[in-house]
Structures are given as C-alpha cells and as structure tokens.
Amino acid sequence: MKALKVFCDMRLTDTALRLFEQGVAPHLVVYPATPAGSVLAQAAFDPGLAEADVVFGQPAVGSVLAATRLRWLQVASAGYTRFDTPEFRAAAAAAGLAVTNSSSVYAGPCAEHVLSFILAQARLLPSALRSQCASGSAEWDRLRHGCIPLGQQTILLLGYGAIALRLVELLRPFGTPVSAYRRRARGDETVPIVTAESLPAALAVADAVVNILPDNAESRNFCDAKHFAQLKPGSVFYNIGRGTTVDQTALVAALESGRLAAAWLDVTDPEPLPPGHPLLIAPNCHLTPHIAGGHRNEAESLVRHFLDNFQRFVAGTPLHDRVM
C-alpha cells in the first residue's frame, strides 16, 4: 500500500505528538505552517492539505473542498457546525469523502460536566457553599428541605447523541425518569423519545431541561420565548450544547420572571460574554467558560481516538463517530 499523507492542524502536547507520529507511521504526517489556536478555531487555508489523503483537526471548509485527494476528515471536536450544511454534505458525498467527529472523546467529560451542574443544583450548592447557618434556623430548613433527590426529578434531554447516551448511563442508578427530544427517532434509543409534537407536553412536566443540541440551521434559537413559556414553573435549564440554540433574551426574561428557578450554561453566544451582558447578572444564572468537554490529557484522548479510526480506515472497516 502506498504511504498515506495525514494532514494534522491540531495543537498537540509533546506526548500527544509522539503518540500521533508513532501511530501514523509508516504513513506520512504533514503539518501546517501555523497550528490551530484551539480545538474549535478554524485553521487558515494551508497548501499542505491539498496533497493529503486524511485530515485530522479543524481545517477550513474551503481547504477541505479544494483537497481533491482527500478521502477522510476527522474533526477534532464533537461539534462540526461549519461542515453541517446541505452544500458540504452534497460535496462530500460526491467526492466519496468520509467525515467523522470526536464525540466519543467528549461524551464522558460533557456528561460529567452537566451532571456536576444537575447535582450542584439538586444540593443547592450555590447557596449552601456560602452559608454557615445553624441547625434548625430558617435558612437551614430552606436549604435542607429544598434539596431534591434526582430520583424525584424528571429530566428532559434536548438532543440524543453520544453525550446524551452517556448522561443516561450516569443517571441510571439515581432512578431519574429521563426522556429525550430527537428530530428523528431511530428506535434504538435507551429512553422514551419525545417528538416535535409531544415536546410542549414534555416541557410542561420536566423539572430539568438539558440542552445538548448541536448548532445547525434547524437548531438555531430552538429554545425561544415560546419554549420557555412552555416550561414547568420552577424548572431548571442546562446548556452544554451550543449557545446559538438559545434565544438568550428570552432566557434572561424567564430567569427574571422566576419561571426558571435557575440556568446552568457552559455555552453562550458569544463566548466569552462581554462585560455587562444580561446573562452575567440574571438571577440564578451559573456560567462556566465552555469547558464541558475538557479533561486532563485531552490531546492524547483525541489522538488515541483518531488512531483507532486510522487503523479502521487503513483496514477498510467502518469508522467510529461517522457523521457523513
């Protein structure tokens, strides 16, 4: 077999780089002049990509479309918004280009991140961590009896991909009733699926709504004023998907009116929020700076996941996390 050229525009640690080069050998690695700034930043056009058989990283759409030898692209994130268009899908199909993402790498950390939010809310940590109230005081009673066991909460997931699947696994021993909204049910889901028709009824009974939607033309502003008006009063909204799927003005209004008891967001639009943004001062709005997928040795996890798929690609067996 002729040596393949694998283009990589990822910013890798030394350990991850060694792992990557050893794993790709005897095939060839091609690097761009300037590595990408982050896992989500789109790299500039790079001529090295034009010769590549395989790309691993965050290439520009134009560079990918111009790379005539390219047979496989693995995006180094769970999100792949800029490729998720009818035009790109058509071009990829016509060129016989396989596209995979790295959702397996991020499913676990993202699920743990949102579960840390859900449990922090259930145990009232934002108030409790600031309190040294005495046993029997009114504040203590409020905290102690305000905690709601997860088995007594109904959770609705928006989106049912790798993160949702992992979150459902983590929630199982809690005995939490979980259902999930999915555009098109496939029949192999591990929880009851909510359709667009039944979504209002599901929103009306959920204690927690966990938004895991990706960013695409259909999902933009999915959670709008109408959506928030359908929520059960006192429910809590979580977002570890993409900030663009939420009408943030409507979210702030839902928090200010008290209809939403709290919001926990790892993603916003834009990121970071500019100083003075209404979400920064909305009541009970808890924000983390898009770190849900992060974890120790993230670069090595991404490389290991790529190499596993690279062996499959070389052997001609089905790729993991294939999205096109």
Return the residue of 192, 272, 283, 318 that touches a second copy, per CB under 8 A. Answer: 272
Q: DSSP E strands: which ranges in the chain?
A: 5-8, 28-30, 54-57, 72-75, 98-100, 155-158, 178-181, 193-194, 208-211, 235-239, 260-265, 285-287
* Candidate ranges 34-42, 188-196, 246-254, 307-315; the one touching a second copy (CB under 8 A): 34-42
At its nearest, how many Å lie between a second copy and the CB of residue 22?
22
Query: Angle at the Cα of 282 (from 277 to 288), degrees rounded to 5?
Result: 70
* C-alpha gyration radius of the chain: 22
Q: Give residue for tokens 């209404």.
A: 278
Q: Is 134 in the site for a second copy (CB under 8 A)?
A: yes
At its nearest, how many Å lie between a second copy and the CB of residue 116?
4
Return the residue of 288, 307, 319, 324 that touches a second copy, per CB under 8 A. Answer: 288
Q: Is 190 in the site for a second copy (CB under 8 A)?
A: no
Q: Is 120 in the site for a second copy (CB under 8 A)?
A: yes
User: Which DSSP string do the residues of 182-239 spell out, in sequence order?
Assistant: -SS--S--SSPEE-TTTHHHHHHH-SEEEE-PPPSTTTTT-B-HHHHHHSPTTEEEEE
User: Which DSSP string do the residues of 244-281 spell out, in sequence order?
Assistant: GGB-HHHHHHHHHHTSEEEEEES--SSSSPPTT-HHHH
At its nearest, how many Å lie between a second copy and the CB of residue 324?
25
Q: Is 173 in the site for a second copy (CB under 8 A)?
A: yes
* Candidate ranges 75-83, 104-112, 179-187, 316-324; the one touching a second copy (CB under 8 A): 104-112
At its nearest, how many Å lie between a second copy and the CB of residue 191?
15
What token pair was written down for 206? Answer: 């959920």
Euclidean distance between CA atoms 66 and 10, whole angstroms: 19
Q: Is 170 in the site for a second copy (CB under 8 A)?
A: yes
From the CB of residue 194, how many other CB atoms can be counted at a distance below 10 Å? 22
Return the residue of 124, 185, 199, 229 that touches a second copy, per CB under 8 A. Answer: 124
Euclidean distance between CA atoms 132 and 140, whole angstroms: 9
Q: Is 15 in the site for a second copy (CB under 8 A)?
A: no
Q: Are 58 and 41 in contact (CB under 8 A)?
A: yes
State whether residue 22 is helix, strand or coil. Answer: helix
Q: Is 183 in the site for a second copy (CB under 8 A)?
A: no
Nearer to a second copy among residue 106 and residue 310 (C-beta): 106
Return the residue of 135, 138, 315, 316 that touches a second copy, per CB under 8 A. Answer: 135
Return the residue of 109, 159, 161, 241 that touches a second copy, per CB under 8 A. Answer: 109
Residues that bind a second copy in the complex, under the rule CB under 8 A: 37-38, 40-41, 108-109, 112-113, 115-116, 119-120, 122-125, 128-129, 131-136, 140, 143-152, 169-170, 172-174, 271-273, 280, 286-291, 293-298
